[in-house]
């Protein structure tokens, strides 16, 4: 699967893409993660991407033209050798605009979006983005939660992680088995404990639940089931 992030702050995403499981998924060619500087699609000397809002008011607004050119330029062009061979309903590209007023991102969106060949993510910044991007360029306007961030870069990382871990072989064996059995419902695992068996925290001794030390696998399984949650 291919991710294309369009941003005016590409550095924020660089270290993210070079660490841990996201880096490994790229090495294994499970994902291709590309970061694009929006200023690349400007023509003027100052590489202008924003302008003052019509109607007046404070702040600047990201303009349509660079964003439109960027999306057109990174979008996968699927020209199958024989169009009849392309399966009906094959999902190719999805263009996402991140904004605080978008629809809330959920686990079921992550699952749905993981079926596309390419996700193009537009990161909003400043006071806003020309509304015509949301209406006519993006397929979806998404918010990662009911709070306002500086821009869409952190949401792009959130979505990339949530989608990547659902792709076959992106996570380790144990986890993928776990995913398999809970495919239809978002599954939040039971709490985990490791050594030491007891430890003083803020003056109080905190112990690992007894059942986990019992060696009784039946009881442990029951406890784990009781303590796990489902998220749809």
Residue list for the binding site for S-adenosyl-L-methionine: 124, 144-149
Cα 39 from Cα 18, distance rounded (Å): 23
If the CB atoms of residues 148 and 201 are measured against ligand ADE, the closer one turns out to be 148
149 lines the binding site for ligand ADE (CB under 6 A)? yes
Cα 39 from Cα 69, distance rounded (Å): 11
Q: Of 114, 63, 73, 120, which is closest to residue 93 (Cα–Cα)?
A: 120
Selected binder of ligand ADE within 16, 98, 116, 223 (CB under 6 A)? 98
Query: Residue 22 has which token pair?
Result: 């996201």
Return all residues near 99 (Cβ < 8 A) that are at least 6 apart. 124, 128, 129, 134, 141, 142, 143, 152
191 lines the binding site for ligand ADE (CB under 6 A)? no
Minimum CB–partner distance for residue 145 and ligand ADE (Å): 5
Cα 144 from Cα 127, distance rounded (Å): 17
84 lines the binding site for ligand ADE (CB under 6 A)? no
9 lines the binding site for ligand ADE (CB under 6 A)? no
Residue 201: strand, helix, or coil:
strand
143 lines the binding site for ligand ADE (CB under 6 A)? yes
147 lines the binding site for ligand ADE (CB under 6 A)? yes
Minimum CB–partner distance for residue 56 and ligand ADE (Å): 22
Contact footprint for ligand ADE (CB under 6 A): 98-100, 124, 143-145, 147-149, 151-152, 155
């Amino acid at each position: 699967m291919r991710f294309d992030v369009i941003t005016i702050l590409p550095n924020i995403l660089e270290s993210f893409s070079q660490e841990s499981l996201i880096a490994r998924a790229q090495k294994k060619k499970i994902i291709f993660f590309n970061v694009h500087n929006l200023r690349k699609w400007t023509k003027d000397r100052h590489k202008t991407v924003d302008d003052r809002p019509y109607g007046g008011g404070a702040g600047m607004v990201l303009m349509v033209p660079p964003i439109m050119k960027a999306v057109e330029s990174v979008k996968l062009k699927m020209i199958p050798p024989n169009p009849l061979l392309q399966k009906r309903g094959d999902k190719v590209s999805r263009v996402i605009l991140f904004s605080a007023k978008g629809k809330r991102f959920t686990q079921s969106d992550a699952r749905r979006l993981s079926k596309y060949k390419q996700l193009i993510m537009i990161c909003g910044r400043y006071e806003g983005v020309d509304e015509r991007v949301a209406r006519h360029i993006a397929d979806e306007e998404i918010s990662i939660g009911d709070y306002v961030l500086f821009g869409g870069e952190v949401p792009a990382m959130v979505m990339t992680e949530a989608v990547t871990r659902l792709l076959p072989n992106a996570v380790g064996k144990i986890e993928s088995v776990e995913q398999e059995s809970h495919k239809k419902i978002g599954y939040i695992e039971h709490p985990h404990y490791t050594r030491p068996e007891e430890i003083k925290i803020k003056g109080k001794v905190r112990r690992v639940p007894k059942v986990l030390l019992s060696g009784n696998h039946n009881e442990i399984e029951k406890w784990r089931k009781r303590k796990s949650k489902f998220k749809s």
